[in-house]
Chain A
Amino acid sequence: MAYDKFEILKSTAVPLPIENVDTDQIIPARFLKATERKGFGDNLFRDWRYNPDNTPKEQFVLNNPIYKGKILVGGKNFGSGSSREHAAWAVYDYGFRCVVSSFFADIFRGNCLNVGVLPVQVSATFLDKIFKAIEADPNTEIEINLPNQTITMLASGEEESFDINSYKKQNMLNGFDDIDYLVKKKEEIKKFAENRPF
Chain B
Amino acid sequence: MSTTLFDKVWDSHVVRKIEDGPDVLFIDRHLIHEVTSPVAFLGLKSRKNSVLYPGRTFATADHNTPTINQHLPVEDPLSANQLKALEENSAEWGISHWGLGHQNNGIVHVVGPENGITLPGATIVCGDSHTSTHGAFGAIAFGIGTSEVEMVLSSQCIMQPKPKKMRININGKLGFGVTPKDVALFIISKLTTSGATGYFVEYAGDVFKNMTMEGRMTVCNLSIEMGARGGIVAPDEQTFEYIKGRTFTPKGTAWDKAMNYWETLKTDEDAVFDKEYTFDASEIEPMITYGTNPGMGTGISQNIPNAGEVEGGVATYKKSLDYMGFHEGDSMIGKKVDYVFLGSCTNGRIEDFRAFASIVKGRKKADTITAWLVPGSHIVEAKIKEEGLLDILTEAGFALREPGCSACLAMNDDKVPAGKVAVSTSNRNFEGRQGPGSRTLLASPLVAAATAVTGVVTDPRTLL
Contact = CB atoms under 8 A, between A and B. Distances in A.
B36 interface: yes
Interface string B296-313: 000000000000000011
Contacts of A198: 28, 119, 122, 250, 254, 258
Given A33-B79, A105-B197, A47 B436 contact: yes
Nearest to A178: B159
Contacts of A28: 432, 436
Interface residues of A, number: 60
Interface string B154-195: 111111110100000000000000000000000000000110
Contacts of A1: 43, 147
Given A35-B81, A179-B147, A188 B15 contact: yes
A159 interface: no
Contacts of A82: 128-129, 143, 409, 428
Given A24-B431, A188-B16, A189-B26, A182 B145 contact: no
A82 B432 CA distance: 13
A98 interface: no
A106 B148 CA distance: 14
A173 interface: no
Given A76-B194, A167-B21, A83 B127 contact: yes
Interface stretch (B46-54, B201-209, B233-241): B46-54
11 contacts: A29-B410, A33-B79, A35-B42, A47-B437, A110-B144, A110-B148, A114-B147, A178-B147, A192-B26, A198-B28, A198-B250
B159 A181 contact: yes
B193 A20 contact: yes
**Closest 8 pairs (CB-CB, A-B):** A167-B21, A85-B145, A83-B143, A33-B78, A182-B155, A111-B145, A35-B38, A114-B147
B38 A36 contact: yes
A167 B21 CA distance: 5
A183 interface: yes
B227 A77 contact: yes
A104 B193 CA distance: 12
Contacts of A22: 293, 428, 430
B18 A167 contact: yes
Contacts of B411: 29-30, 32-33
B261 interface: yes
A105 B228 CA distance: 9
B155 A185 contact: yes
A80 B293 contact: yes
A7 interface: no
Interface string B312-324: 1101100100000
Given A47-B432, A106-B198, A81 B147 contact: no
A192 to B, nearest CB: 5
A116 B49 CA distance: 21
Interface in A135-194: 165-168, 177-183, 185-186, 188-190, 192-193
